Amino acid sequence: MRRGTNESGRMSRIAWPLRLCLFVWLALAGSACNARDDGSSPEAAVRSLIAAARAGDRAAVYERFGPRTRAHIEALLSATHPTGGARMLAPEDLVTVGWLPPAWEPAGTRVLQHDDNEAEVEVYAASGDRQTVHTVREGKVWRVELPLR
């Protein structure tokens, strides 16, 4: 059985919203970023997440999420425990990357708004496509918060 699917092979209803949100964000955000970015700035956090997603490294993608996004994933995991499934999922099991090529390739990033603990980073393409990404400071490291509901 593939990860994130039930016995009939269908993706679980719990995993689907998170995977869809991440897929849409990654399709808009694209790729071509330096894998050595570490989250030392809002822009570095976004570039680092994109690089981890392009590499298909689900654990690294999860590590680059902010506390609200990680809490949402943990809540989804907690909701699966009462179902009595024999297999325990790790948080990164709910992260799916690399479904399709990105809709556009980013040409760069720039900070739109920045304060001590939050920043908005714009990822832009030469074609004019743009995507705004919300980042938060967690300790000394910047993390990406996905637009989850």
Backbone angles phi, psi at 58, to 5 degrees: -60, -40
Q: In the predicted model, is pLDDT for residue 99 greater than 90?
A: no
Which whole number is the average pLDDT over 125-149?
92
Beta-sheet strands, E only, within the chain:
106-114, 118-125, 130-138, 141-145
Q: Is 6 inside any structural domain?
A: no
Q: Is 34 inside any structural domain?
A: yes
Q: Identify the top-confidence range among 49-63, 98-112, 133-147.
A: 133-147
Q: Is 36 inside any structural domain?
A: yes
Q: In the predicted model, is pLDDT for residue 142 greater than 90?
A: yes
Average pLDDT along the chain: 76
CATH number at residue 134: 3.10.450
Q: Is 4 inside any structural domain?
A: no
Select from 131, 122, 142, 147 the least CA-distant residue to 68.
147
Domain that holds residue 141: 15-145
Q: Express as a percent the part of the chain with pLDDT over 70.
A: 61
What is the number of domains present in the chain? 1
